[in-house]
């Protein structure tokens, strides 16, 4: 029995048993079936990648921006390397890894009942080796594309990660299929698929050594010290937070030497930030979020990350794209609850509570006496509104401005939600340049008046949503 453990088995038409798939005998070397076995995952991925390249298509189209990172990923996959994504939480490391799974074959042929879905011509587990060499008929099955996420856990055991293999049990006469002889751990379950190791640095260093042994030597060491070949076939993708970040251990050097590191940072542009937010919102329906509000929210998040603003110097942990996504959700929720067709400034709450709701847990300050965080968030939103309003103001056609001010000054007070701007010819012309849909008109009217207020002081806000001309 033991010889099966150490022997490398390759099945060819000359030494093959009869194969049965879905109740029928099949020739796995036929034109129809030959592409579903005998090749490694790296080979399949390489071939699919080249198909995308040939068509000029982006295999990772669901990922916004990140052109340089995409190039590096493609290159690493092409050369059959393992990948380590390095970056803070919420910048799309998992999304990237999931997108890569699309390059795996849709399905593969495997030995039926095999715990690690062995290839019928290149078995890695010893019970398949025995079956394929000794039995006359071997049943096969289809296995769908596999993407296995393994969360990095400091309490993870060898058994959970690698599994349990006992040569002792085999010597005692146990069957090779017996669960006490072989139970695959998470990484072995990714055989013939993709393993995504989330937070690689978090697993104990002893396990990192075992992982290295498995990836590099294609073997495992049992707790009894037996070395067992385990030629698993997987693409290994992992992620880690930047060094010095709380609670994250380092990745050991031998393992680092077996992965290609690709940094994954925040979206490069405001436009990409907004696009990621919109694509990932969970509230798909409800009030419209006009572009000026999307910009205000995305900017508030981006200012927290930027080193240009004095206020962000206090921020130790920056908010990720998840903050942007949640802020979009919260503003839509708030506007919808108030019955607004499109978001208004009042939907942020008197002291931007809606922004605080989405940012407080996603931002850490170097020093916080209890309410400092709220003060920081308010300043970030104020900056974001100022910046967005100056953009709105700068886009007002210069030849309309005088006329607009005359029209505005003819009212004692303007309530942007109740009053239609249609009769104010110049104001209306500007609003039409801003609003993309009729539902956005009140929101556009409000941000226009708010922009004039912030940039010129010619109008003032009497109450939220109510403006009056104060002149010069």
Measured from each CB, the residue nearest to Zn ion is 128
Name the DSSP class of 421: G
For Zn ion, which is the closer residue by CB, 118 or 347?
118
Write the DSSP string, 138-177. EEEEEEE--EEEEE--TT--HHHHTEEE-HHHHHTT--TT
The correct pick among 76, 114, 202, 259 for binding Zn ion (CB under 5 A) is 114
Minimal distance, residue 219 CB to Zn ion, in Å:
16
For Zn ion, which is the closer residue by CB, 118 or 329?
118
For Zn ion, which is the closer residue by CB, 128 or 195?
128
Cα distance between residue 131 and residue 360, in whole Å: 58
- Contact between 132 and Zn ion per CB under 5 A: no
Minimal distance, residue 128 CB to Zn ion, in Å:
3
Minimal distance, residue 21 CB to Zn ion, in Å:
16
Stretch that binds Zn ion, among 15-23, 109-117, 135-143, 166-174 (CB under 5 A): 109-117
Do the beta carbons of residue 122 and residue 114 sit within 8 Å?
no
Stretch that binds Zn ion, among 108-116, 145-153, 186-194, 379-387 (CB under 5 A): 108-116
Applying CB under 5 A, the site for Zn ion has a residue count of: 4
The correct pick among 118, 318, 329, 407 for binding Zn ion (CB under 5 A) is 118
| Strand-pair category, 147-151 with 24-26 | unpaired
Which residue, among 456, 449, 427, has the nearest Cα to 344 in the 3D structure?
Answer: 449
- Contact between 199 and Zn ion per CB under 5 A: no
Taking each helix axis from N to C end, the angle separating 67-78 and 93-100, rounded to the nearest 10 degrees, works out to: 40
For Zn ion, which is the closer residue by CB, 128 or 297?
128
> What residues between 401 and 440 interact with Zn ion by CB under 5 A?
none
- Contact between 125 and Zn ion per CB under 5 A: yes
Which residue, among 103, 115, 109, 255, has the nearest Cα to 178 in the 3D structure?
Answer: 115
- Contact between 383 and Zn ion per CB under 5 A: no
The correct pick among 49, 128, 195, 294 for binding Zn ion (CB under 5 A) is 128
User: Alpha helix locations (H) across 414-457?
Assistant: 425-434, 441-456
H or E segment and range at residue 182: strand 182-184
Stretch that binds Zn ion, among 113-121, 162-170, 274-282, 327-335 (CB under 5 A): 113-121
Do the beta carbons of residue 345 and residue 352 sit within 8 Å?
no
- Contact between 109 and Zn ion per CB under 5 A: no
Which residue, among 106, 176, 117, 112, has the nearest Cα to 144 in the 3D structure?
Answer: 106
User: Where do contacts with Zn ion occur on this chain (CB under 5 A)?
Assistant: 114, 118, 125, 128
């Amino acid at each position: 029995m033991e010889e099966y453990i150490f022997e490398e088995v390759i099945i060819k038409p000359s030494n093959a048993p009869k194969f049965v798939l879905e109740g029928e005998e099949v020739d796995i070397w036929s034109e129809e079936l030959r592409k579903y076995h005998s090749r490694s995952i790296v080979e399949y991925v390489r071939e699919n990648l080249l198909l995308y390249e040939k068509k000029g298509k982006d295999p990772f189209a669901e990922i916004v921006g990140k052109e340089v990172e995409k190039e590096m990923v493609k290159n690493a996959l092409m050369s059959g390397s393992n990948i380590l994504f390095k970056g803070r939480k919420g910048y799309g490391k998992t999304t990237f890894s999931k997108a890569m799974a699309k390059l795996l074959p849709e399905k593969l042929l495997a030995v039926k009942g095999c715990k690690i879905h062995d290839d019928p011509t290149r078995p890695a587990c010893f019970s398949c080796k025995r079956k394929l060499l000794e039995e006359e008929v071997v049943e096969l099955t289809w296995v769908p594309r596999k993407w296995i996420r393994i969360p990095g856990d400091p309490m993870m055991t060898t058994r959970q990660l690698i599994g349990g293999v006992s040569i002792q049990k085999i010597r005692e006469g146990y069957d090779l299929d017996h669960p006490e002889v072989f139970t695959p751990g998470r990484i072995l379950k990714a055989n013939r698929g993709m393993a995504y190791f989330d937070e690689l640095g978090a697993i104990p260093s002893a396990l990192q050594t075992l992982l290295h042994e498995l990836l590099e030597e294609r073997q495992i060491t049992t707790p009894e010290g037996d070395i067992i070949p385990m030629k698993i076939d997987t693409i290994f993708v992992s992620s880690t937070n930047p060094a010095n970040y709380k609670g994250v251990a380092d990745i050991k050097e031998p393992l680092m030497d077996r992965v290609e590191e690709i940094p994954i940072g925040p979206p490069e542009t405001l436009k990409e930030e907004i696009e990621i937010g919109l694509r990932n919102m969970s509230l798909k329906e409800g009030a419209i979020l006009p572009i000026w509000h999307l910009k205000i929210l995305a900017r508030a998040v981006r200012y927290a990350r930027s080193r240009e603003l004095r206020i962000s110097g206090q921020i130790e942990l920056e908010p990720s794209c998840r903050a942007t996504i949640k802020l979009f959700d919260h503003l839509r929720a708030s506007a919808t609850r108030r019955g607004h067709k499109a978001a208004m400034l009042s939907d942020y709450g008197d002291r931007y509570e809606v922004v605080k709701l989405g940012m407080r847990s996603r931002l850490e300050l170097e020093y916080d006496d209890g309410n400092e965080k709220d003060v920081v968030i308010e300043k970030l939103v104020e900056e974001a509104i100022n910046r967005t309003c100056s953009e709105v103001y700068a886009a007002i056609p210069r030849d309309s401005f005088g006329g607009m001010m005359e029209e505005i000054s003819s009212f004692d007070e303007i309530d942007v939600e109740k009053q239609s701007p249609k009769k104010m010819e110049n104001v209306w012309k500007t609003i039409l340049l801003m609003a993309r849909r009729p539902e956005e008109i009140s929101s556009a009217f409000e941000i226009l008046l708010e922009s004039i207020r912030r940039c010129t002081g010619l109008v003032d806000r009497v109450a939220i949503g109510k403006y009056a001309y104060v002149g010069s």
